[in-house]
Amino acid sequence: MSEQIVLFDLPSKEPCRCWSLNPWKTRLLLNYKGLDYRTEWVEYPDIKSTLEPHLPPRSDWPAYTIPAVRLADGTYVMDSLEIARAIEAAHPSPPLHLDSPALARLIGSEGIASRTISKLARVLLTRVPTRILTDASVPYWVETRSQMVGMPLAEFQAQVTDWEPVWAAAEPVLHEATALLNETREDGPFFLGKEASYADFVWGGLLIFFDRMGELDELLARTGDAEAHRALLKALEPWTERCEF
């Protein structure tokens, strides 16, 4: 007898709800596929101890990461793209179109989504611990991100006295996202036009992430066509409503 899928996600301040880009990719596809699942909230310091008994470590840092899922057959899968592949194999309809050219341009280290996060790293490093994380996760975030940037996080943040150059540096890659989204705008709001796909969950998750940080309006103002992105978020609403349990 199959069991309910478990989605391991990162909690937020109250009201607790999904906030991070990568878990949103998985939550969106589970909602889109209409699958039965429940959320298990895992604080940053508890990720390794929660997943290590069930999964080998990743080759990259961090060794264990969110999202992860326990599928209905008891199998554990970690990493949003690997989860998407596993879910698609088990539940092919409606399709995620994991082979779409739009998705290829969004994901990967040189993809539009990754480069957007990289350009705006100072924004998220500042906003996530103060506006989103619970008290249980803030120390972990500060310690690990300080190691990442090679200095105390407070010192790293204090280096920015003018946020305009930070946002301006992200504009070219945000314009790339807009151009890609608008390639099919005459057909519909999604990257494939009328049909939703995993590409929409990748970019939609990023937009929601910045919304949770309180920075969505600023980000959209840099895209060259805010309405195209708002239309995507509107079209994703049937699958973004469930974000708390």
| Tens digit of each residue's pLDDT (9 = 90 or more) over 39-50 | 999 999 999 999
When the candidates are 1.20.810.10, 2.60.120.260, 1.20.1050.10, 1.20.1440.230, the CATH number that belongs to 101-240 is 1.20.1050.10
Residue 2: pLDDT above 70? no
Q: Residues 206, 82, 230, CA angle at the centre, nearest 5°?
A: 20
Confidence category of residue 244, pLDDT binned at 50, 70, 90: low
Q: What is the average pLDDT across 130-149?
A: 96
**Mean pLDDT, residues 31-40:** 96
pLDDT of residue 245: 53
What is the gyration radius of the CA atoms in the chain, in angstroms?
Answer: 18
Characterize 196-219 residue by residue with b for buried, 16 or more Cβ atoms within 10 angstroms of its Cβ, and e for exposed: bbbbbbbbbbbbbbbebbebbeeb
Question: Whole-number mean pLDDT of the chain?
Answer: 95
Predicted confidence (pLDDT) at residue 242 exceeds the cutoff of 70: yes
pTM: 0.96
| Fold of domain 5-90 | Glutaredoxin (3.40.30)
pLDDT of residue 1: 41
Residue-range domain boundaries for the chain: 5-90, 101-240
Query: 101-240: same fold as 5-90?
Result: no
